[in-house]
């Protein structure tokens, strides 16, 4: 069991109740990473489902949970032959912190009938760069869990040269040896720096809603994350992330609606 598997472990209490222990190692300056929270919730949902794969996950981030024990409560909305639907709530101190609607199904090994091209070409990984480790006092413990190799123009903001449009692109893998699976993908879709950094904005950008779809099971190796936004308006922005596996398959699609940071 990897550290990530352990940090997202969901222990069955009864049919519709699971205990999780939220790990302080996934902090983004205090709040825990949204992808990490989704992965923990999905462990419970998948364990309780007749199907193996979370093909659709829509999450509302109501409040910011604390590291430590939490509970996932499930309500089974439909158990069909093709797909099952579950509502899941992450609870701490009798309060709902995250509300999710999840569709599980069993994906086959068949190939694509039609597939689009990546939205942006990525340079080879050896031409991509890392960001320096954050200072310990920034409480960015999340950064130690994953490896990101950025397409240089998409982190121009770091040296004061933002690209001028919302975008974020990187190769991604877990820091520990771990092949990507649907739970790693839940982490991956929310692992990039906010796309608005490239548009000249800074500060914590809280996700309000995130929906992602699992489209295929990823092959081992680096994942490619291609993120962009379409509109920054009225304090809100969208962030679309596509995840491609090392064989060039589109394996996950996500879109989140988030608030602009005040920083």
How far is it, in rounded angstroms, from Cα 55 to Cα 48? 15
Residue 169, φ and ψ in degrees, nearest 5:
-140, 135
The only residue of 24, 230, 247, 262 in contact with its own copies, by rule CB under 8 A: 230
Other beta carbons within 10 angstroms of residue 109's beta carbon come to 6
Angle ∠(52,54,59) on CA atoms, nearest 5: 150
Any contact of residue 85 with its own copies (CB under 8 A)? yes
Query: Minimum distance between the CB of residue 120 and its own copies, rounded to whole angstroms?
Result: 13
Any contact of residue 242 with its own copies (CB under 8 A)? yes
Any contact of residue 40 with its own copies (CB under 8 A)? no
Count of residues near its own copies by CB under 8 A: 51
Q: Which two tokens stand for residue 209?
A: 């809603």
CB 245 within 8 A of CB 180: yes
Interface characters, 175-214, with its own copies (x: CB under 8 A): ------------------------x--------xx-x-x-
Residue 191, φ and ψ in degrees, nearest 5:
-100, -15
Any contact of residue 72 with its own copies (CB under 8 A)? no
Any contact of residue 94 with its own copies (CB under 8 A)? no
Pairing of strands 250-259, 207-214: antiparallel
Q: Which two tokens stand for residue 238?
A: 């969208």
The only residue of 21, 120, 140, 232 in contact with its own copies, by rule CB under 8 A: 232
Any contact of residue 116 with its own copies (CB under 8 A)? yes
The only residue of 16, 19, 29, 101 in contact with its own copies, by rule CB under 8 A: 101
Q: CB-wise, 2 or 106, nearer to its own copies? A: 106
How far is it, in rounded angstroms, from Cα 24 to Cα 6? 13
How far is it, in rounded angstroms, from Cα 69 to Cα 49? 23
Q: CB-wise, 145 or 224, nearer to its own copies? A: 224
Sheet order of strands, 167-174 included: 11-14, 17-22, 68-79, 83-92, 95-105, 53-61, 207-214, 250-259, 236-244, 223-228, 167-174, 146-150
The interface region with its own copies, picked from 34-42, 107-115, 153-161, 169-177 by CB under 8 A, is: 107-115
Any contact of residue 92 with its own copies (CB under 8 A)? no
Which residues of this chain interact with its own copies, rule CB under 8 A?
A: 55-56, 58, 60, 62-63, 77-78, 82-83, 85, 87, 96, 99, 101, 103, 105, 107-108, 110-116, 165-166, 199, 208-209, 211, 213, 215-216, 228-236, 238, 242, 250, 253, 255, 257, 259
């Amino acid at each position: 069991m990897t550290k990530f598997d352990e940090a997202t472990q969901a222990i069955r209490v009864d049919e519709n109740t699971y205990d999780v222990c939220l790990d302080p190692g996934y902090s983004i300056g205090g709040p825990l990473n949204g992808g990490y929270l989704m992965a923990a919730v999905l462990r419970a949902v998948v364990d309780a489902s007749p199907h193996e794969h979370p093909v659709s996950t829509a999450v509302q981030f109501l409040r910011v949970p604390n590291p430590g024990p939490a509970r996932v409560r499930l309500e089974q909305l439909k158990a069909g032959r093709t797909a099952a639907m579950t509502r899941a709530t992450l609870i701490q101190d009798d309060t709902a912190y995250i509300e999710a609607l999840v569709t599980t199904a069993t994906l086959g090994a068949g190939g694509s009938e039609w597939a689009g091209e990546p939205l942006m070409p990525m340079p080879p990984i050896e031409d991509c760069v890392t960001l320096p480790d954050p200072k310990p006092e920034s409480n960015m413990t999340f950064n130690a869990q994953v490896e990101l190799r950025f397409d240089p123009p998409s982190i121009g903001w770091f040296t004061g040269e933002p690209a001028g449009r919302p975008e974020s692109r990187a190769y991604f893998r877990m820091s520990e040896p771990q092949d990507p699976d649907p739970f790693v993908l839940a982490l991956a879709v929310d692992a990039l720096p906010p796309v608005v950094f490239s548009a000249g904005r800074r500060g914590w950008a809280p996700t309000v809603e995130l929906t992602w779809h699992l489209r295929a099971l990823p092959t081992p190796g680096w994942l490619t994350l291609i993120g962009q936004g379409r509109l920054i308006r009225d304090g809100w922005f969208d962030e679309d992330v596509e995840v491609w596996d090392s064989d060039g398959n589109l394996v996950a699609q996500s879109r989140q609606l988030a608030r602009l940071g005040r920083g």
